[in-house]
Amino acid sequence: MVEVSPFKGIVYNKEKIGKLDEVTSPPYDIISSDMQTELYGKNP
């Protein structure tokens, strides 16, 4: 039988990061090469 274990989620501190879209990205399978270049230039 498969054993399922809980895990801690990631919670961002909006006071430190500002906008959430500056530290996250879209799903990998919808990122075009132009979008990838744009994302690489953003906040790591």
- Amino acid (1-letter code) at residue 14: K
Residue 14 is predicted with a pLDDT of 86
Residue 43 is predicted with a pLDDT of 67
Pairwise CA distance, residues 40 & 34, whole Å: 10
For the chain, the residue count is: 44
The domain tally of the chain equals 1
Instruction: Kindly report the pTM of this predicted structure.
Output: 0.54
Contact 12, 23 (CB under 8 A): yes
Q: Summarize pLDDT for 1-44 with one digit per residue, the tens.
A: 999 999 999 888 889 888 888 888 899 999 999 999 998 888 66
Q: Which residues span the domain enclosing 41?
A: 1-44
